[in-house]
Amino acid sequence: MPTDSTPTPRTRGQMPRFEARVLYGGLLIAAPALLALVGVLTFGLPVARWIVPSALAVLALTAWVARWQYRRVIHPMYTLSSLIEALRQGDYSLRGTRGSVLGDMTDDVNRLAERLQRERLEFEESSYLLSKTLAALDSAVFVFDESRCLRLVNPVGQQLLNAEKHRLFGASAAELGLAALLDAPPIQTITRAFPGRTGRFEVRHAPLRSGGRGGRLLVVNDVGRVLREEERQAWQRLLRVLGHEVNNSLAPIQSMADTLATLAARDPLPDDWREDFRTGLDVIGKRAGALARFLAGYSSLARLPSPNMRDVDLAQLAKKAAHLQQRCPVQVEDGEALRVQADPDQIEQALINLLRNAVEAAPAEGGLVRVRWRREDARALIEVIDNGPGPPRSDNLFVPFFTTKPGGSGIGLALVRQITEAHEGGVSLVARKDARGALARIWLPVG
């Protein structure tokens, strides 16, 4: 059937086609009797023997016209009823014929079918997207109805309960062992043994409403697995760094030791054997010292104690750290009197590391390093400014053992970040906007 359901235009005062068909058909049913009456009035009564046949003929013709009108009226209604029944059954592909006797009613049904078909397509696409999204989540997702019966679960939820989907649907939260989670606070972290997994989980639940009925959304996230994965990656990074640094030191040590052993096996010894031995032992000593410093730096990161909070004057702390730098004078800008609760030894060490980096980055001639402090809202800011080349463009500046300086350990900035975060503060290192150089900033809470 045609799918074009554009309404047929109708002029003002024009009778709809279906109503006209009913009216004219009703008049047509009465036409045989009216014609017989007109004939009697015009020509008089027929001969007696023709009265009965004439009456029967009028009745038969009237019955035939009535049946014809009945079919004309009922069949369009059947068509409309079939369209509505198809919509009720969810079949939105049927359409009424354009220009049918039902007129605007058929057009309205066609537009309704098109709208329902479009909405069904959008619903199916949304449902498919939702199912794919739930399947891609690492968290277990459960949806319960108002009776706390399970209506939706993703694959991770099936794995957590170690059951097939058809066995989970319709089961109550109590039967699944999840009722206690729904009765608990909306956000909690627990250690629990589920049928499919045991560990530490973050549990969240929230109310839902669909179709005028209430429900409950439950999300269970295995935080222990995430932490274990992060721990595994941290160990891998640490082992790569340690292996790289240890090999860098052991390789020349082993090579020089082999060279000295070969030299010592010569008989007689060459005239310059003392100088060769002295050079070789010097190389071994330097590499062993570098390896010792590297391991000491790692130990300082691993054994950093908790801060011993005391009342600290930032002005005195900044001036003391600035006076320790000898390669380049550090200009201390006077600021407001500012006191914070902090561990003075740790904050001083963090400031020393930033000042040392700034002094080393400043040029030998015309080098300028400044330190200043101020209060900004509820935090204290300490800034170290230099006129060196600026920080390298890298996201790894505060990653342990990452360095761009020859002979650097990569410990300084990592230690600064660890110290400031232990004080509930932070650190940043960016390029200056007003001139060439770097701007290092430490912030600490005040009050």
State the Cα–Cα distance between residues 235 and 238, nearest whole angstrom: 5
Contact partners, residue 256, CB within 8 Å, separation at least 6: 280, 283, 284
**Cα 131 from chain centroid?**
15
Sorting pLDDT into bands at 50, 70 and 90, what band is 384?
Answer: very high
* DSSP assignment string, 252-289: HHHHHHHHHHHHHTSSSPPTTHHHHHHHHHHHHHHHHH
Tokens of 13: 């005062």
Nearest CA among 339, 404, 331, 342 for reference residue 369: 331
Q: Which of 211-220, 240-249, 323-332 has the lowest mean pLDDT?
A: 240-249
Convert the pLDDT of each residue in 246-262 to its tens digit: 776 677 777 778 887 88
Sorting pLDDT into bands at 50, 70 and 90, what band is 164?
Answer: confident
Q: Degrees (nearest 5) of the Cα angle 167, 172, 176?
A: 65
Does residue 2 register a pLDDT over 50?
no
Tokens of 426: 């932070």
Neighbour-count burial of 23, counting CB atoms closer than 10 A to its CB (0-12 exposed, 13-18 middle, 19+ buried): exposed
Q: In the chain, pLDDT over 90 holds for what percent of residues?
A: 11
CA–CA distance from 329 to each of 74, 357, 360 (Å)? 105, 13, 12
Per DSSP, helices labelled H in 362-399 are: none
Neighbour-count burial of 66, counting CB atoms closer than 10 A to its CB (0-12 exposed, 13-18 middle, 19+ buried): middle
Does residue 232 register a pLDDT over 50?
yes
Tokens of 384: 């170290």
Neighbour-count burial of 302, counting CB atoms closer than 10 A to its CB (0-12 exposed, 13-18 middle, 19+ buried): exposed
Query: How much is the pLDDT for 3?
Result: 43
Q: Do residues 371 and 322 lie in contact, with contact meaning Cβ atoms separated by under 8 Å?
A: yes
Q: Do residues 358 and 413 lie in contact, with contact meaning Cβ atoms separated by under 8 Å?
A: no
Strands (E), 318-401: 330-332, 339-342, 369-376, 379-386
Please tell me which residue, 112 or 51, carries the higher pLDDT value.
112
Q: Do residues 215 and 144 lie in contact, with contact meaning Cβ atoms separated by under 8 Å?
A: yes
Contact partners, residue 336, CB within 8 Å, separation at least 6: 374, 375
Does residue 371 register a pLDDT over 90?
yes
Quickly tell me which residue has 């906007």 as its tokens. Answer: 433
Quickly tell me which residue has 């790894």 as its tokens. Answer: 396
Amino acid at 178: L
Please tell me which residue, 181 or 280, carries the higher pLDDT value.
181
Determine how β-strand 213-222 pairs with β-strand 198-210.
antiparallel
Tokens of 287: 């590499």
Convert the pLDDT of each residue in 270-293 to its tens digit: 777 788 788 878 878 877 776 776
Query: How much is the pLDDT for 205?
Result: 92
Query: Looking at the DSSP assignment, which residues form a beta bridge with residue 143?
Result: 152, 217
Query: How much is the pLDDT for 110?
Result: 76
State the Cα–Cα distance between residues 291 and 296, nearest whole angstrom: 9
